[in-house]
Chains A and B, each alone.
Chain A
Amino acid sequence: MKRAILILMALAFGIWSNAGGGEAIASRAAGKEATSEPLLFDTTRPPAEVTTPADGWSFRNHVIPVLTRLGCNSGACHGALAGKGGFKLTLRGYDPELDFNVLTRQTQGRRVNRNEPSRSLLLLKPTMTIGHGGGKRLDVGSLEYKVLSEWIAGGLTAPAESDARIVGLELSQRSLTLGTGAEAQLRVIARYSDNHREDVTRWVKYSTADAGVATVDDDGKIKVTGHGETAISLWYQSNVSFARVTNPWPREIRPEVFAASPRAGFIDDLVIARLQQLRIAPSDQSSDREFIRRAFLDATGTLPTPGEVAGFLADQSPQKRTKLIDSLLAREEYTDYWTNRFADTLLVSSRLLRDNAMWSFYNWIREGVRTNKPYDRMVREIVTANGNTLENGAANYYVLHKETTELNENFSMAFLGMSITCARCHNHPLEKWTQKQYYQMANLFARIGMKNGTRDGDVQVYSNPFGEVNHPRLGRPLPPAPLDGQTLAFDATIDRREHLANWLTSPSNPYFARSFVNRVWKNFMGRGLVEAVDDMRATNPASNEELLAALTKDFTDHGFDLRHLTRTIMNSAAYQRSATPNETNTQDERYYSRYIPRRLPAEALLDGISQVTGVPTEFAGQPPGTRAMQIPDAKLANYFLTVFGKPPRLITVESERTAEPSVAQALHTINGETLNQKLRSPGGLVDSFVRLGVSDEMAVHHLYLAALSRPPRPDEEARLLAAIRQSDSRRQAIEDIAWALLTSKEFLFNH
């Protein structure tokens, strides 16, 4: 264990990788040239050996980080909204100017005493020299004491606009491979706008994504606790980065296993490389029967008919899976499926829209999906939407979001895959987003005008020439800017939403395409490369960062083409793997060594039941024959869909849709009217079997092919035929067999 630390310490001084402020992920360049600039100081040295900077300690860059490390400005202490004990700091120092005034001007300056620094309350309290409700936080001999007392003695330098700003964090290691029980010390250097560098290891805030793999303490010491991989994230003055810790499983897998596993392109190269690194063997490939059912469900939310299954099995072409994928992408059901997904994200519902407006929005989305409108264009049209909502369906997005903070937050979830809600009230505690950025972003939406149109349900959306959103604490608006994008002057002539769209849909935007690709990937692979898909923080890295980057690049290189992305994923060997685990990958649900079984979405389940039983479901107000996947309105009430987790579309959040089983679902399947009525419905499949005198064998075969896309096994068939023969009611026996098939895991799950 000791040796591991020594080696890592040696590495620490040799190789420094580089993580630029916001592009921590984009510029992943392990082993980039070490910067030769010497350190201004080094917090890992004993306090006496830490040299005081020639210009003295800076309030912004040193005092605030020290207060943050000590926890003074945490939410539990003086960082609370109302402060503590009459002393209030901004949460984690998000407003240095304000904190400076509080420290030096309030209480007649008793908090700091220039003549006798050690008599300052700022030092007396946390050292418990005098009573402190927060207990002892500071040692007299510590580096933090030295910084605070020297800053006081040195004349209380105020924060200034000209202060150097952090431009990036450098880590001793971006990636560590260690065994269980091993320990390693991270080191972090902050790089500043004036090119100087400081070792800030002691003052960084560390956290682990998966404490089951590795933990990290306040000083950046990592301890490996289990197998797999985790990210250690770092937060330092609203700059973020992360280091990856990998602990491969302790087993040997012959290289041939990986070499022999099929590959269809860059996805497979990158997936297999990852599996090899972690020592997880991939499962075998799926059979044709498994594949056709899976592909139909994932791409279109429908089951293949027995005829389609037979045709596919009979096809001798080596390209038949690719051909099937292409044909699925051309189907109306593909359009329905993805329209429904977009409608979830965009909250299409008659809750806040009149029926005609809701339809207008839905049809606008559907037309975009049908014609394969590039994703960047589609979103641009929403962001910049103006005009009458009955004519330009996209403009309804703003009718659904009349409140600016709600719009700002749902918008970020929908198109950036991240929650910025924390930053509404204070700087984001885990992210680089500040409250100022939040309100700069919100101000982009300040000039959306709306008035009633000429017809009922119609709203005219337009761009106002005036209007600002105030920053609540500052009481004034801030120049509009899209998160970390370019700031716009208050009087800029460009439409603010135009500016937002330019930033958002640019191929170089690090969040936009990436978050969409991650959502699409999850649709097919069962798990996002980043989980949760709407938690795309820079400190929440992908399980396979190279793969997500490559997919994103491929997507933008191909004009933000959803069908291209779908095709690329579905043709990969990773997608086409069997769901059956081998002895090395039973635990793996993260690295795509096998297909992850999951329950069908509510709509696909109901449509599948309707299809197999031959009895369509009627939905109030919808034309006959409407499938559940085609329902435009989330407000339409259907118990089956609700209990199986169709989202209500109230706020944009992935967890609104659930595929998790529940007792209520089981009870509804067993006793509920939905399935039971379809099984006994006149004109339904079972009824037709009985009336047309279909043989027992044929009935059983047909039911299996329709529901499970496979024929019964001989033993199954024998038992089922016996059950029919022994039953007093042939009709009821067939109904019960159909019930058993439609409630089996094999039916309820995609696999």
Chain B
Amino acid sequence: MIRLDAERSVSFCDGMRRRDFLHAGALSLLGLGLTDHFRLKAAGAIDRGREKNCIFLMLVGGPSQLDLWDMKPNAPSEIRGPYKPIRTNVPGIEISEIFPRMARQADKYALLRSCYHTAAAVHDTGHQMMQTGRLFQGGIEHPSVGCVLSKLRGPRGDAPPHVLLPRPIGATGGNMPHGHSAGFLGKQYDPFILNSDPSQPNFRVPDMLPPDYITAARTDRRRRLREMVDGSVAELESAFKASQDARLLDDNFNQAYTLMSSAKMREAFDLTKEDEKTRDRYGRNRFGMSCLLARRMIERGVRYVTINMFETVFNEITWDIHGSAPFSPIACYRDLVGPMFDNGYSSLLEDLHDRGLLEDTLVVATGEFGRTPKINPAGGRDHWPQCWTMLMAGGGVRGGQVIGSSDEIGAYPKDRPVAPGEVAATICHSLGIEPETELPGVQGRPIRVVEHGINPIHELF
């Protein structure tokens, strides 16, 4: 609990004396190192204006197109799989029976049934391409769209511009970067990473507030003392200036102080502020609670939220239904993963819609690839980047439509193939980022946000 009044006056090492005030926000007003952008915006309330947000749901593991959103009920049984299609509230659109709640609001999202990529069929490449629009080559790591947004727009008030929930993707077999970070833009544009499981009963962001024996005045004194120590050896300062990690450390401290001093952001992470019914509606699991957190983030000014539905594909029930250990069986879609997604995703769309936020918030849900049309001998499906289905809602996207289609067995796009670059271009378009915007790349050479010749999927809007 933060205390709201002073006990005594304290002095600072610069000799000034100040009242020992403890109201929330004091630290940020005192604290230096905030960006000019923030200074300008901090004066008033959050001015959301017409700026758009994005929630990007990375469905780690690679959901099957055939069992979920692009069913082929007339195909042979080894293709069509165990599930049946059901009707949605949009005539002509059918999805899998494992998504009853999604079926009731198909008017809110568009299905893109002709996604594909051409890189190696390992998880990591798809993660890279879906989050950044590009495959990493020639030693260049591209930034995720969320990090591009951080770079171009900065924070909105004291909310970090880009938050990643709940944790970064770990090992998925390829030993490659997964594309959630800022890459060549520099680590200062990396997302704020929660690194904690919001479905735990006593979930909180660790260490958001000082222990009760450290007053805000002491916190502030410590901060000033630390800055003095850091700045006192010139030769070291120049060594640290040349170190990306040292610069990042300074940014991290500034960001930490901003979070601490913002009652609004502390509250954003406090899921106990949501009633039990709401939490049940989202599903009391990591993904459901991450979706709920994402809504709370967007409500408080975060621009971009990345949610990783799973952290790995090994020894965990995920979309990665190879059928044999250490991966998942196809039945897990009905028993666990499907309901988890249905509840989290549907609740998120409902709430954003009810709060009037959906129009300003693009919600993207995609895996890193699809799955083999033919069921394998272990009763599962293997990696298949040649064709899959993704979902887009809000942010100007017209719901209730289907973009593209696949062939009769869901193996290849039949019309309007959608490549990862187009997806990234579409997110940029919705966020109002001009595709020809140039970012400072390696050795200062400009790199376009969206590669020349790649266009957003205009028919979505």
Q: Which chain B positions have C-beta within 8 A of A325?
A: none
With both beta carbons as reference points, the residue of chain A lying nearest to B14 in the complex is identified as A719
Q: Which chain A positions have C-beta within 8 A of B214?
A: 671, 676
Q: Which of B214, B225, B260, B383 has the most CB of A within 10 A?
A: B225
Q: Which chain A positions have C-beta within 8 A of B8?
A: 728
> Once bound together, how far apart are the Cα atoms of A440 and B259, in whole Å?
55
Q: Which of B171, B219, B443 has the most CB of A within 10 A?
A: B443
User: Are the C-beta atoms of B13 and A719 separated by less than 8 Å?
Assistant: yes
User: Are the C-beta atoms of A670 and B232 separated by less than 8 Å?
Assistant: no
> Once bound together, how far apart are the Cα atoms of A49 and B384, in whole Å?
43
> Once bound together, how far apart are the Cα atoms of A720 and B232, in whole Å?
12
**Which of B79-87, B237-245, B270-278 lies on the face that meets chain A?**
B237-245
When the two chains form the complex, which single residue of A421, A586, A676, A732 contacts B173, counting CB atoms closer than 8 Å?
A421
Cβ distance B209 to chain A, nearest Cβ, rounded Å: 6
Interface size in chain A (residues, C-beta < 8 A): 81
User: Are the C-beta atoms of B238 and A581 separated by less than 8 Å?
Assistant: yes
User: Are the C-beta atoms of A210 and B229 separated by less than 8 Å?
Assistant: no
> Once bound together, how far apart are the Cα atoms of A660 and B372, in whole Å?
38
> Once bound together, how far apart are the Cα atoms of A343 and B173, in whole Å?
22
Q: Which chain A positions have C-beta within 8 A of B230?
A: 744-746
When the two chains form the complex, which single residue of A207, A596, A651 contacts B243, counting CB atoms closer than 8 Å?
A596
Given A207-B137, A650-B171, A673 contacting B211 (CB threshold 8 A): yes
Cβ distance A438 to chain B, nearest Cβ, rounded Å: 15
With both beta carbons as reference points, the residue of chain B lying nearest to A231 in the complex is identified as B139
User: Are the C-beta atoms of A419 and B175 separated by less than 8 Å?
Assistant: yes
> Once bound together, how far apart are the Cα atoms of A579 and B235, in whole Å?
8
User: Are the C-beta atoms of A212 and B239 separated by less than 8 Å?
Assistant: no
User: Are the C-beta atoms of B236 and A580 separated by less than 8 Å?
Assistant: yes
Q: Which chain B positions have C-beta within 8 A of A74?
A: 118
Given A667-B256, A671-B211, A727-B11, A599 contacting B249 (CB threshold 8 A): yes
Given A421-B174, A597-B243, A653-B175, A666 contacting B221 (CB threshold 8 A): no
When the two chains form the complex, which single residue of A662, A673, A751 contacts B193, counting CB atoms closer than 8 Å?
A662
User: Are the C-beta atoms of A651 and B171 separated by less than 8 Å?
Assistant: yes
When the two chains form the complex, which single residue of A82, A597, A728 contacts B372, counting CB atoms closer than 8 Å?
A82
* 8 A Cβ contacts from A453-499 to B: none
Interface size in chain B (residues, C-beta < 8 A): 74
Q: Which chain A positions have C-beta within 8 A of B206?
A: 639, 643, 664, 667-668, 672
Q: Does A713 lie at the interface of the complex (its beta carbon under 8 Å from any beta carbon of B)? A: yes
Q: Does B22 lie at the interface of the complex (its beta carbon under 8 Å from any beta carbon of A)? A: no
Contact with A along B430-446 (1 / 0, CB 8 A): 00000000000111010
Cβ distance B448 to chain A, nearest Cβ, rounded Å: 14
Q: Which of B13, B214, B252, B412 has the most CB of A within 10 A?
A: B13
> Once bound together, how far apart are the Cα atoms of A736 and B221, in whole Å?
7
With both beta carbons as reference points, the residue of chain B lying nearest to A419 in the complex is identified as B175
Cβ distance B459 to chain A, nearest Cβ, rounded Å: 23
User: Are the C-beta atoms of B229 and A741 separated by less than 8 Å?
Assistant: yes
User: Are the C-beta atoms of B239 and A579 separated by less than 8 Å?
Assistant: yes
Q: Does A47 lie at the interface of the complex (its beta carbon under 8 Å from any beta carbon of B)? A: no
* 8 A Cβ contacts from A645-693 to B: 650-651, 653, 655, 659-668, 670-673, 676, 680
Q: Which chain B positions have C-beta within 8 A of A659?
A: 245
Cβ distance A207 to chain B, nearest Cβ, rounded Å: 7
User: Are the C-beta atoms of B139 and A716 separated by less than 8 Å?
Assistant: no
With both beta carbons as reference points, the residue of chain A lying nearest to B215 in the complex is identified as A732
Contact with B along A728-745 (1 / 0, CB 8 A): 100010001101110111
Given A209-B138, A720-B13, A728-B8, A736 contacting B222 (CB threshold 8 A): yes
* 8 A Cβ contacts from A43-78 to B: 74-76
Q: Which chain B positions have C-beta within 8 A of A749?
A: 240, 243, 245-246
Q: Does B226 lie at the interface of the complex (its beta carbon under 8 Å from any beta carbon of A)? A: yes
With both beta carbons as reference points, the residue of chain B lying nearest to A208 in the complex is identified as B138
User: Are the C-beta atoms of A212 and B445 separated by less than 8 Å?
Assistant: yes
Q: Which chain B positions have C-beta within 8 A of A581?
A: 238-239, 242
Q: Does A80 lie at the interface of the complex (its beta carbon under 8 Å from any beta carbon of B)? A: yes
Q: Does A748 lie at the interface of the complex (its beta carbon under 8 Å from any beta carbon of B)? A: yes
Q: Which chain A positions have C-beta within 8 A of B412?
A: 84, 133
User: Are the C-beta atoms of A599 and B228 separated by less than 8 Å?
Assistant: no
Given A580-B239, A660-B187, A720-B13, A212 contacting B175 (CB threshold 8 A): no
Cβ distance B388 to chain A, nearest Cβ, rounded Å: 14
User: Are the C-beta atoms of B211 and A720 separated by less than 8 Å?
Assistant: no
Q: Does B89 lie at the interface of the complex (its beta carbon under 8 Å from any beta carbon of A)? A: no
Q: Which chain B positions have C-beta within 8 A of A744?
A: 226, 229-230
> Once bound together, how far apart are the Cα atoms of A473 and B253, in whole Å?
53
Q: Which chain A positions have C-beta within 8 A of B256?
A: 663, 666-667, 670
Contact with A along B186-223 (1 / 0, CB 8 A): 01000011010000000001111111011000110110
Q: Does B233 lie at the interface of the complex (its beta carbon under 8 Å from any beta carbon of A)? A: yes
> Once bound together, how far apart are the Cα atoms of A720 and B248, in whole Å?
27
> Once bound together, how far apart are the Cα atoms of A594 and B137, in whole Å?
28
With both beta carbons as reference points, the residue of chain A lying nearest to B443 in the complex is identified as A226
Cβ distance B301 to chain A, nearest Cβ, rounded Å: 17
Q: Which chain B positions have C-beta within 8 A of A641?
A: none
With both beta carbons as reference points, the residue of chain B lying nearest to A71 in the complex is identified as B118
Contact with B along A202-222 (1 / 0, CB 8 A): 000001111110010000000
Listed by A's residue number, 30 A-B pairs whose Cβ atoms lie within 8 Å are A74-B118, A75-B119, A207-B138, A534-B175, A578-B235, A580-B236, A586-B242, A650-B171, A651-B171, A660-B187, A661-B248, A662-B252, A664-B206, A665-B252, A666-B256, A667-B256, A670-B207, A670-B222, A671-B211, A672-B206, A723-B221, A726-B15, A736-B218, A737-B225, A740-B226, A745-B236, A745-B240, A745-B246, A746-B230, A748-B249
20 more A-B contacts (CB under 8 A) besides A587-B242, A661-B249, A664-B195?
A76-B119, A81-B382, A82-B384, A82-B411, A228-B443, A580-B235, A598-B243, A599-B245, A639-B206, A659-B245, A660-B245, A663-B259, A666-B253, A668-B207, A670-B210, A671-B207, A676-B213, A740-B229, A744-B226, A746-B233
Which chain B residues have a beta carbon within 8 Å of chain A's beta carbons?
8, 10-13, 15, 118-121, 137-140, 171, 173-175, 187, 192-193, 195, 205-211, 213-214, 218-219, 221-222, 225-226, 228-230, 232-233, 235-236, 238-240, 242-243, 245-246, 248-250, 252-253, 255-257, 259-260, 372-374, 382-384, 386, 411-412, 441-443, 445
Which chain A residues have a beta carbon within 8 Å of chain B's beta carbons?
74-76, 80-82, 84, 133, 207-212, 215, 225-228, 230, 419, 421-422, 429, 534, 578-581, 586-587, 594, 596-599, 639, 643, 650-651, 653, 655, 659-668, 670-673, 676, 680, 713, 715-716, 719-720, 722-723, 726-728, 732, 736-737, 739-741, 743-746, 748-749, 751
